């Protein structure tokens, strides 16, 4: 008697699979009303980012930096370049990802 119930359960779930869809870029991100991406390109030692990205990173550090271990109340791993952009290290990008997660979870600062 257990096998028919198990078979029914397995067959009923077989039609409930979720197939991932391919993500394709549809539009550039908007930073400060300007259509550009926060990360411009990958570079040796990190990523070249826009000033708007740097401002957002600094704001997220002020809001949620105390949740990191160790706490980060000012942006680290980001250095200005001579072309009005910033070089962000891979560690900085990982920290930004965690801070951005806290922001999108609508957690109170």
Predicted local distance difference test score (pLDDT) of residue 52: 85
Nearest of 96, 104, 99, 2 to residue 50 by alpha carbon: 96
**Using one digit for the tens of pLDDT, what is the confidence trace for 62-109?**
999 998 888 888 888 999 998 889 999 999 999 999 998 888 887 776
Residue with tokens 């600094």: 58
Question: At residue 26, does pLDDT exceed 60?
Answer: no
The pLDDT tens digits of the residues spanning 36-74 come to 668 888 899 999 988 888 988 999 999 999 988 888 888
Structural tokens at position 82? 């001579």
- Report CA torsion sign: 37, 43, 46, 48: negative
- 77 closest CA partner among 53, 106, 104, 105: 53
Parse the chain into domains and list their residue ranges: 57-109
Looking at the whole model, is its pTM more than 0.85?
Answer: no
Question: What pLDDT score does 58 carry?
Answer: 92
């Amino acid at each position: 008697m257990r096998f028919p119930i198990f078979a029914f359960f397995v067959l009923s779930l077989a039609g409930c699979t979720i197939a991932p869809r391919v993500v394709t870029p549809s539009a550039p991100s908007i930073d400060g009303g300007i259509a550009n991406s926060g990360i411009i390109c990958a570079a040796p030692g990190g990523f070249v980012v826009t000033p708007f990205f740097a401002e957002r990173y600094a704001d997220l550090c002020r809001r949620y930096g105390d949740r990191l271990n160790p706490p980060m109340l000012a942006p680290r791993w980001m250095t200005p370049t001579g072309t009005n952009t910033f070089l962000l290290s891979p560690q900085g990008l990982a920290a930004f990802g965690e801070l951005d997660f806290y922001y999108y979870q609508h957690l109170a600062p």
